[in-house]
C-alpha cells in the first residue's frame, strides 16, 4: 500500500544495522539487528504466500512472543512502521504458540532481502510474519513491514471514542467496527480519530457510503483499480480470504452507520 514514501526511504537510507523499540507494560527496550539475529530462539522460518512478496519466503526470525515480556493476551499493541503505517494488534494472537504464530523476521544487512517490487525497498529491517495465519483469521493488515516500534496502548475504543458506534447499534454494526479496526485503521482515520498517516479520513468530509452507491463500494474494496485505475493507487484489494462477504457487509454497515455520527 505504501510505495512513494517507501521508495524515497529506500533511495536515501542505506541498509545497515537497525533498531527496534518495544514499549511494553514493564518498560522499554531497544533491540538491534545483531542482538536479534543472535537471540537464543532465532530460527529459519518458511512463509508460504507471503503477503508482501506474494510468494514463498524464508527468514531468520524470532517468535514475537519471546520479546513481549509482561504482555497478557487481553492487552493491545500497535506496530509502527517507518512510513507511519500503524497496525493495531490484539496481543492474544501474537502470544500464541500453537496454530497461527507470529514471528519477527530480521533482515541481515549482509544478506538483504529483495525489494518488495521494482523501485521499492525491502520489507526490512523488521517484518511481522505469520505461520499458519488462516488458523486465526490473520488478515493482510496484520503483516506490518519496515517495523520500527511495537508499543503497548489502551484499546482502540478507549483511545478513540469518535470511532465508536452508538451504544444501541445493531450487533452487525458492532461486528463491522471490529472489521474496521482489523482491516482499515492501519491506513485510515475516521472522524479524525486514529494514528495512521496514510489514507484519507473515511467520514470527514464524506463517508464512502455517501458517494459509492449500489455495489460500487464492495467492488472498490475487493479491487480498487477496477473502479479507479491510476499508477499511484496504493490501496490493495481485499480478497474473500482476507475478508468474507459477510464480514465485508458488516464493515460497510459500520461505515454507513458512522455517516450519521460525524464529528466536526
| Same domain (yes/no): 172, 249 | yes
Domain boundary among 153, 181, 196: 153
264 lies in a domain? no
**What is the pTM for the complete model shown?**
0.81
| Same domain (yes/no): 42, 108 | yes
Q: Find the domain containing 187 and state its range.
A: 156-258
Distance CA 237, CA 130 (A): 20
Summary mean pLDDT of the chain: 89
Q: What is the largest CA-CA distance in the chain?
A: 56
Residues 6 or more apart in contact with residue 53 via CB below 8 angstroms: 114, 116, 123
Contact 88, 82 (CB under 8 A): no
Residue ranges of the chain whose pLDDT lies below 50 = 1, 3-14
- 205 upstream amide cis, omega within 30 of 0: yes
| Same domain (yes/no): 31, 93 | yes
Q: What is the pLDDT of residue 118?
A: 82
Handedness of CA 161, 164, 169, 170 (dihedral sign): negative
Residue 90: enclosing H or E segment and its boundaries? Answer: strand 86-90
Q: Mapped to the 3 state alphabet, what secondary structure does 62-92 carry?
A: EEHHHHCCCCCCCCEEEEEECCCCEEEEEHH
- Model confidence pLDDT, tens digit, residues 77-133: 999 998 878 899 999 999 999 999 999 999 999 999 999 988 889 999 999 999 999
Place of cell 523499540: 21
C-alpha cell at 263: 464529528
As for how many domains the chain has, the answer is 2
| Same domain (yes/no): 176, 123 | no
Residue 73, domain CATH: 3.90.420.10
167 lies in a domain? yes
Residues 6 or more apart in contact with residue 201 via CB below 8 angstroms: 188, 189, 190, 191, 192
Domain boundary among 105, 123, 153: 153
| Same domain (yes/no): 29, 76 | yes
Neighbours of 245 (CB within 10 A): 10
Q: What is the pLDDT of residue 92?
A: 96
Domain boundary among 129, 153, 177: 153
Q: What is the pLDDT of residue 7?
A: 45
Half-sphere exposure of residue 156: CA atoms within 13 angstroms, side-chain side: 25
In the chain, count H helices and then E strands.
Answer: 8, 9
Amino acid at each position: 500500500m505504501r510505495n512513494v514514501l517507501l521508495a524515497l526511504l529506500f533511495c536515501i537510507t542505506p541498509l545497515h544495522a537497525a533498531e527496534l523499540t518495544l514499549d511494553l507494560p514493564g518498560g522499554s527496550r531497544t533491540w538491534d539487528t545483531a542482538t536479534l539475529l543472535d537471540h537464543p530462539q532465532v530460527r529459519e522460518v518458511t512463509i508460504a504466500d507471503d503477503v508482501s512478496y506474494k510468494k514463498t519466503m524464508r527468514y531468520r526470525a524470532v517468535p514475537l512472543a519471546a520479546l513481549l515480556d509482561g504482555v497478557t493476551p487481553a492487552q493491545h499493541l500497535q506496530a509502527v512502521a517507518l512510513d507511519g503505517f500503524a497496525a493495531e494488534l490484539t496481543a492474544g494472537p501474537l502470544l500464541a504458540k500453537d496454530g497461527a504464530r507470529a514471528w519477527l523476521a530480521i533482515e541481515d544487512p549482509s544478506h538483504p532481502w529483495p525489494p518488495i517490487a521494482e523501485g521499492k525497498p525491502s520489507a526490512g529491517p523488521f517484518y511481522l510474519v505469520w505461520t499458519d495465519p488462516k488458523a486465526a483469521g490473520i488478515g493482510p493488515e496484520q503483516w506490518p513491514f519496515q517495523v520500527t516500534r511495537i508499543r503497548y496502548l489502551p484499546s482502540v475504543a478507549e483511545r478513540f471514542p469518535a470511532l465508536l458506534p452508538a451504544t444501541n447499534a445493531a450487533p452487525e454494526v458492532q461486528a463491522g467496527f471490529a472489521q474496521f479496526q482489523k482491516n482499515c485503521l492501519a491506513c485510515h482515520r475516521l472522524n479524525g480519530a486514529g494514528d495512521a498517516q496514510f489514507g484519507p479520513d473515511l467520514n470527514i468530509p464524506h463517508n464512502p457510503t455517501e458517494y459509492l452507491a449500489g455495489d460500487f463500494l464492495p467492488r472498490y474494496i475487493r479491487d480498487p483499480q477496477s473502479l479507479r485505475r491510476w499508477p499511484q493507487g496504493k490501496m490493495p484489494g481485499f480478497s474473500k480470504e482476507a475478508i468474507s462477504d459477510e464480514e465485508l457487509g458488516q464493515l460497510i454497515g459500520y461505515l454507513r452507520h458512522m455517516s450519521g455520527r460525524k464529528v466536526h
